[in-house]
Structure formats: structure tokens, C-alpha cells
Structure 1
Amino acid sequence: MTTWTIAGTLTVEPASKHPELLADPVAKALAALPDPDALGVAEIDPELADTAAFCEAYSTPLSASANCVVIAGKRAGEVRFAAALVLATTRADVNGVIKRRLDVRKASFAPMAEAVELTGMAYGGITPVGLPEAWPILIDKAVAEAPELVIGSGIRGSKLLVPGHVLAALPGAEVIEGLAL
């Protein structure tokens, strides 16, 4: 079992052994990974799922947390979606790098209800693991290079712990330098 140096006060278990702590699409995608045991999961208070509150409550470093946001943009009447994963200490360059990557006139955060419906995940728990296959997963280079990170699990009641290289190897993942500001 992996020893997570960023776990703080969390009790981390192998994610593959606890599908009840994952959204259904996350559990399905995890099972398809080459090394599903590389990911840990920890149960948390759902009221503390937001990054700043989570880090404070569980003594995990903000610098080792990554946030996944769903971005939408339109081109010729077609809505294009992507997910962006950046360190919690930064923000995604939505109207620069992401807008150009999606080849849209304007990019913005997808409406909450639409993001939840399309991903099958809870708002505040959306994660790059288990997103719709057609979506690009844009990963900031700093995330890909991180030895270990805390990310969402698809639900608000747990968090995944994962090495950055595993996220960079997800189907549809693109590592982009300068994705985050």
C-alpha cells in the first residue's frame, strides 16, 4: 500500500477496494486503469469538500491539491466541453489557453447543473477520472509532475489521492505547460 505524505489526518485506503466512496463513472474508469491500486481514497465530511475547507480540516497542503473544472464553449452552434485540472493555488487560463485549445470564440465554466448531469458526478467532487470519453482532459504541467495530489472522487464525501503521472496517462489527457495562471 502506498504511503501518502500529503494525507494529513486522512485515513487512506486503496480506491479500487472502496467503490462506495466513488461516483459510478469514477469507479468504472478506475477499474480500467493499468494500475488502479496507484490511487488512494479517503472518506471525508461532505460539508468540507471545498478545497480550502478540506485542506484546513484535514491538514493536507493546499499546494498538493488539484481542482478539476468543466469548461464549455461554442463554435458553429456546437457546444464543446473539456475538463481542466490545475493546482488549487492557481486558476485555469479559460479565455486564453483553453479557449484556443477548444477552438471556440468564448469559453466559460459549464453551468453547474449541466456539468453534474454530463459527468454523473457531484458538484464540488468532479474529477478527471471517469469523464465522458469525447472530452479532452487538459492537465497543467505542474499537476502532471506532482508526486502526489488530492483531487475529487466524483462525490463530496471522499477524496482521491493520486500521483500526477497517473492523471497525465488518463485516456484523453493532454499535459499543457501554462494551462494555469
Structure 2
Amino acid sequence: MQGVPASLDLVPALSRPDLLGPPVAQALAAFAHADRVRVAAIDPALADTAAMTEAYAVPLAASANCVVVMGRRDGQERIAACLVRADTRADVNTVVKRLLDVRKASFLDHDRAVAETGMEHGGITPVGLPDGWRLLVDARVVEIPDAVIGSGIRGSKLALPGSVVAQLPGAEVVEGLAREG
């Protein structure tokens, strides 16, 4: 698998807090592996995966999307952020539903996801998630040498080894979390 292309000018993430959403900067400051996380500025208009991968020549298989899913059981709401490779889709109706132990799982309303994460729509990332949210990581993400993910804002992307993603607080690596896209 290819690494992150030179079209992304990557620097140590903590050296550019202006390129990080506030909860992301705070989480990275406390993360033992923060030295392996890099950030690159991008055009905010190109933050969505399809536009970003094309404009910056990032292979879809090197990019990962974070989607927020919720369900209820016995009146209790259960929320999980799911990180899957961009060339796959989270299996919300089977795997995520089973893992959350809910009858029906659906994507969390994007306005609510933005409000609760403190991150921008199109920049939500597994780094710095709210307390109480589960973090489900598809096993294929862990295999990416340099995974390109959100940074909490639309104007940048993080790059870090997939093995480091698995070390994020609360990360649960799940075989088969995603289906081919």
C-alpha cells in the first residue's frame, strides 16, 4: 500500500495547533504516541473524502472516514464513532447494531455530532471524542501505513500509522466492521 503522497505537506501535529480542532489538540497533548501523528493543511472546500483524495492524490485505501452512529436500548442512548477505510462502508445495520446492542442503529444527526464533538462537519475524527462514546475501528484501518483522517477542522488532515489509531484511548479494533464500498 502506498504512503501519504508528497502533495500533503505533513508536519508534527503538535507543532501546528492552529490546524487542529480544540478537542483534537487537547487529546493529542495527552496521547503517548502523539509524536507519530502529523498534520497537513488542505483547502477546506476539499475536506470531503472524494474531493480530498482526488485533489491531493491520496489513495482511497489510505484514507479513513469517521462516522458517528447511535441507537437506543431500554431508554439508554448508545453512541459510537466508527473509523473505516474510505473505500469501505461501516456495516451499521448488522455489525454496529450488534456491537451497540440496539434494535436500530442510525447515523447521528450531523448538527448534533458537531455540537457534541466540538469538531467541524467534515473534520470529525476519532482523536478527542467525547467521554462515553465508543470508538470502533475496522481492522483494515490498523493495516494502513499512513492513515489520513480528519483533524477536527475542515482545513487540515491528520496522518498517522493505523497501528497508532488502534492505540487511541478506548479504541476497539473490530474485524468486519466495514463492508466493501
TM exceeding 0.5: yes
1:125 pairs with 2:123: yes
Q: 1:93 aligns with which of 91, 94, 103?
A: 91
Could you tell me how far apart the structure 2 residues matched to 1:136 and 1:20 are? 27
Q: 1:18 aligns with which of 9, 16, 19?
A: 16
Q: Give 1:121 shift.
A: 0.5
Q: Give 1:35 shift.
A: 2.2
Instruction: Report SS of the residue matched to 1:25.
Output: helix
Consecutive unaligned residues of structure 1, counting only runs of 5 or more, are: none
Could you tell me how far apart the structure 1 residues matched to 2:6 and 2:96 are? 33
Q: Give 1:5 shift.
A: 3.0
1:2-22 CA distance string (max 9 Å, x none) = xx9313411111001111100
1:175 pairs with 2:159: no
Consecutive unaligned residues of structure 2, counting only runs of 5 or more, are: none
Q: Give 1:133 shift.
A: 2.3
Instruction: Report SS of the residue matched to 1:171.
Output: coil
**Aligned residues of 2:3 and 2:62 also touching (Cα < 8 A):** no
1:101-154 CA distance string (max 9 Å, x none) = 111110010001110011110111000000012111000000012111100001
Q: In the alignment, what sits opposite 1:44?
A: 42
Q: How does 1:4-83 map to 2 (within 5 A)?
A: 5-83=3-81
**Aligned residues of 1:82 and 1:137 also touching (Cα < 8 A):** yes
Q: How does 1:159-170 map to 2 (within 5 A)?
A: 159-170=157-168
Query: What code does the residue aligned with 1:155 have?
Result: I
Q: In the alignment, what sits opposite 1:104?
A: 102
Instruction: Report SS of the residue matched to 1:131.
Output: coil
Query: What code does the residue aligned with 2:11 have?
Result: E
Q: Give 1:71 shift.
A: 0.4
Q: Give 1:79 shift.
A: 1.4
Instruction: Report SS of the residue matched to 1:67.
Output: strand
Could you tell me how far apart the structure 1 residues matched to 2:143 and 2:54 are? 24
Alignment coverage as a number of residue pairs: 178
Instruction: Report SS of the residue matched to 1:91.
Output: strand
1:75-102 CA distance string (max 9 Å, x none) = 1122110000000000000011110111
Identity, % of aligned positions:
61
**Aligned residues of 1:133 and 1:172 also touching (Cα < 8 A):** no
Could you tell me how far apart the structure 1 residues matched to 2:153 and 2:110 are? 14
